């Protein structure tokens, strides 16, 4: 029985299509695989200021939750953007620029060529665009600035002014709409087609599949680092944030391809009001969640499933759970002050979904049984962001993070 007590709720759905002896199919490998990740890893690790992020061992928290291990991959320091999304959006921008330059010139530009300004004039005429809850757009804007192209970002009504200003700081034109995230995705798509812009989205839909593959491959840098930092250990469980499914499918696919039958149990965590993946699993096909998608976890306020993500998660994820909103601030606060002798960690609202769900599960015998958790469980969670919205962080945690 856990020694820490939080008030919160989980709803659980076990994926009936998940079987531990399934082979990772060629169709799934076409989206993400260890082999396909190598080019992204080579590219991103050569960028200025690249450094691996920390993998924290939360030993005291694991012990008091009744688990063997909790590992926390801390993306709060990633490239100064405070989010794992720095990897995906910027890498996809680079890949689009390489393809466009090759089509125009016949040459195959390297990242070094682009960073050195070899194709500066041609690249300066290119406009990339996307819709975002904040972190993906920041990555696209940062990548556009780094590589020298223009950028237009669409945000929905609930994106904070702080996140808007962070994208503008990288030179992006930011357009706010009155609708929700999924409506901003549709507007970005239609205006890109009308104005000749290049869409760099982290979600896939009919007719738009290739770029989100590059976004997901960018995330594998984080996963490769994690494998190295684990030093041969394999988690029994990964509690991973949902959203549209891009990150969750990258995690699921990469570890499935790497570890096969030894891969960890994948538990996808979503907000109660934005659980499109859980509802899709229950229905057996992609389902759209309508409405305001109201959640503190802004990066997870998504109502439509990424089709590429679903290609992997539909039979690769083991469990789909939702976590109540009242867990967000307490877990952020627990990490900020450090639990007993565990490290103090800066974690934004969307970063804590996986850890919060694991803590809640530890308090409920029925849930631990459903998820196969016990004192030998080795749990990996990914802290996807730091204080990407400083005002929100101060309101929820009570302090501005000091490194």
Catalytic residues: 85, 133
Rounded Cα–Cα distance for residues 225 and 220 (Å): 8
Task: Record the tokens describing residue 187, joined without a space.
Answer: 């507007």
State phi, psi for 184 to the nearest 5 degrees: -70, -35
Q: Which two tokens stand for residue 196?
A: 């000749």
Confirm if 180 and 159 have CB atoms less than 8 A apart. no
| Bridge partners, residue 72, by sequence | 56, 381
Q: How far apart are CA 253 and CA 259, in angstroms?
A: 10
d(CA 159, CA 99): 31
Tokens at residue 301, please? 């306020």
The residue with tokens 């934005």 is 274
Q: How many CB atoms lie within 10 A of CB 346?
A: 22
Residue 308 in contact with residue 250, Cβ under 8 Å? Answer: no
- Of how many residues is the chain composed? 403
Instruction: Decide if 216 contacts 88 (C-beta within 8 A).
Output: yes
Residue 165: its H or E element? helix 161-168
Q: What is the DSSP letter of 208?
A: B
Which tokens is 345 given? Answer: 């960690």
- β-pair type (69-74, 55-57): antiparallel
What are the distances in angstroms from CA 82 to CA 42, 75, 163, 315, 337?
21, 6, 12, 31, 18
Exposed/middle/buried for 349, CB within 10 Å: 0-12, 13-18, 19+? buried
The CA-atom distances, in angstroms, between 87 and each of 106, 214, 221, 227 are 27, 10, 7, 17
- Parallel/antiparallel/unpaired status of strands 55-57 and 10-14: unpaired
């Amino acid at each position: 029985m856990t020694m820490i007590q939080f008030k919160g709720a989980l709803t659980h759905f076990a994926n009936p299509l998940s079987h531990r002896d399934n082979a990772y199919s060629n169709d799934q490998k076409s989206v993400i695989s260890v082999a396909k990740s190598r080019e992204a890893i080579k590219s991103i690790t050569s960028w200025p200021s690249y450094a691996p992020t920390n993998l924290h061992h939360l030993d005291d928290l694991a012990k008091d939750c009744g688990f063997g291990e909790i590992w926390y991959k801390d993306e709060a320091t990633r490239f100064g953007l405070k989010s794992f999304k720095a990897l995906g959006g910027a890498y996809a921008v680079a890949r689009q620029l390489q393809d466009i330059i090759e089509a125009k010139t016949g040459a195959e530009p390297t990242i070094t060529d682009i960073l050195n300004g070899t194709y500066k004039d041609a690249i300066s005429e290119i406009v990339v665009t996307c819709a975002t809850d904040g972190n993906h757009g920041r990555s696209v804007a940062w990548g556009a600035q780094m590589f020298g192209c223009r950028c237009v970002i669409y945000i929905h009504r609930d994106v904070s002014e702080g996140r808007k200003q962070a994208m503008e700081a990288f030179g992006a034109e930011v357009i706010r709409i009155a609708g929700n995230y999924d409506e901003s995705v549709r507007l970005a798509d239609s205006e890109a087609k009308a104005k000749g812009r290049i869409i760099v989205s982290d979600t896939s839909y009919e007719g738009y599949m290739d770029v989100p593959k590059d976004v997901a491959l960018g995330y594998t840098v984080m996963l490769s680092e994690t494998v190295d930092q684990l030093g041969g250990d394999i988690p029994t469980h990964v509690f991973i944030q949902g959203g549209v499914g891009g990150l969750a499918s990258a995690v699921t696919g990469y570890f499935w391809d790497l570890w096969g039958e030894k891969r960890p149990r994948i538990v996808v965590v979503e907000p109660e009001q934005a659980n499109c993946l859980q509802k899709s699993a229950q229905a057996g096909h992609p389902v759209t969640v309508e409405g305001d998608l109201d959640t503190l976890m802004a990066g997870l306020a998504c109502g439509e499933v990424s089709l590429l993500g679903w290609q992997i998660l539909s039979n690769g994820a083991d469990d789909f759970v939702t976590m109540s909103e009242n867990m967000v601030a307490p877990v952020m606060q627990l990490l900020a002050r450090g639990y007993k002798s565990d490290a103090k960690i800066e974690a934004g609202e969307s970063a804590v979904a996986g850890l919060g769900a694991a803590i809640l599960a530890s308090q409920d015998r029925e849930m631990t049984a459903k998820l196969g958790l016990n004192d030998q469980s080795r749990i990996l969670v990914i802290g996807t962001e730091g204080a990407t919205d400083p005002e929100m962080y101060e309101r929820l945690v009570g302090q501005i993070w000091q490194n």
